[in-house]
């Protein structure tokens, strides 16, 4: 009786493990086949948004420190504002056009991931939203041009205050505030810490 039970448990265990092994095999095969494509897609998404900011640029390189680590990676500036990384945008003649700053700011529905161009003369080139989960019809209008175009050509020393120099999205003050504060605070941080880098490039 007891032996029978043990035998049954073992059989069941082996059966279940077999199913799991086969499932795991199928998954790992699919994963290895799709992985390069997935990475390509993710890179393409970021690159496309960078290209939309500096259409003339042909190369985007990640800014790294001496030990080849990306600078400002996951740098928390504020409770809800985080820097992700910075790219240099260069054109055919290898001339530095500006920096691309990627970061995120907490909106109404979750983090708003944005990227913007920072020209060498301390103006914002243009802003583009990579990812957001704001309310459709309200905060989701954050991707609309008539809102984002306000940031074009703004000086880094400007106030970036909603209802003063930024007209908010109708009935979505929180989203508008999140983005403009995210840009202001990240750009201030970058300006304070990037001077050495600019010199390095000029030398």
Partner 1 sequence: MKTKIKQLLTKGLLKENPVFVLMLGLCSVLAVSVSVINALGMTLAFTFVTVLSEVTISVLRKWIPKSLRIPIFIVIIASFVTILQFLLQAYFPSLNKALGIFIPLIVVNCIIIGRIESFASKKPVFDSILDGLGISLGYGIAILSIAIVREILGNGTILGYSLFGTSFEPALMFILPPGAFLVIGIEIGIINHVSKKASRKEASK
Partner 2 sequence: MSNYVITASPHIRNKINTAFLMNMVSISLLPATIGGIVIFGWTNTLPLIALSIISAVVSEALFQKLLKLPMSYLDGSAIVTGFLLALCCPPGIPLWLPVIGSFFAIFSKQVFGGLGHNPFNPALIGRAFLVLSFPAHMTSWLKPFDVVTTSTPLAVFSEKGMSGVLGLFQGSVSTMHKSMFWGIRGGCIGEVFILGLLLGLALLLLTKTIQWYVPVTYMGTVFLVSWMLGMDPIFSILSGGVMFGAFFMATDYVTSPMLPQSKIIYGFGCGFINVMIRFFANMPEGTTFAILLMNVITPMLDNRIKKPVGFVKEKTS
Binding site for partner 1 (CB under 8 A): 11-12, 15-16, 19-20, 23, 26-27, 30-31, 34, 37-38, 41-42, 45, 131, 135-138
27/86 Cα distance (integer angstroms)? 35
Binding status of residue 40 toward partner 2 by CB under 8 A: no
Least distance in angstroms from the C-beta of 19 to partner 1: 5
200/193 Cα distance (integer angstroms)? 13
**Identity of the residue, 53 or 169, whose beta carbon is nearer to partner 2 in the bound complex:** 169
**Identity of the residue, 123 or 173, whose beta carbon is nearer to partner 2 in the bound complex:** 173
158/173 Cα distance (integer angstroms)? 19
Least distance in angstroms from the C-beta of 34 to partner 1: 4
Q: Choosing among partner 1, partner 2, none, which partner's interface includes residue 34 (Cβ < 5 to 8 Å by kind)?
A: partner 1
Binding status of residue 170 toward partner 2 by CB under 8 A: yes
46/17 Cα distance (integer angstroms)? 41
Name the burial class of residue 200, with classes exposed (0-12), middle (13-18) and buried (19+) by CB atoms within 10 angstroms of its CB.
exposed
**Residues 142, 112: contact at Cβ < 8 Å?**
yes
Binding status of residue 174 toward partner 2 by CB under 8 A: yes
């Amino acid at each position: 009786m007891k032996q029978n039970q043990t035998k049954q448990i073992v059989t069941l265990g082996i059966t279940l493990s077999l199913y799991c092994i086969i499932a795991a095999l199928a998954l790992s095969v699919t994963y290895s086949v799709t992985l390069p494509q997935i990475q390509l897609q993710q890179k393409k998404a970021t690159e496309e948004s960078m290209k939309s900011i500096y259409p003339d640029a042909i190369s985007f390189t990640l800014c790294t420190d001496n030990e080849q680590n990306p600078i400002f990676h996951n740098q928390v500036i504020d409770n809800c504002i985080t820097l992700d990384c910075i790219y240099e945008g260069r054109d055919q003649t290898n001339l530095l056009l500006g920096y691309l700053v990627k970061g995120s700011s907490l909106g109404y529905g979750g983090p708003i991931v944005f990227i913007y161009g920072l020209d060498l003369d301390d103006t914002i080139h243009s802003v583009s939203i990579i990812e957001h989960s704001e309310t459709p019809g309200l905060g989701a209008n954050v991707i609309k041009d008539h809102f984002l175009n306000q940031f074009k050509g703004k000086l880094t020393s400007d106030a970036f205050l909603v209802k003063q120099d930024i007209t908010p999205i109708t009935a979505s003050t929180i989203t508008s505030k999140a983005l403009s504060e995210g840009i202001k605070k990240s750009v201030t941080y970058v300006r304070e810490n990037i001077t050495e880098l600019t010199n390095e490039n000029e030398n």
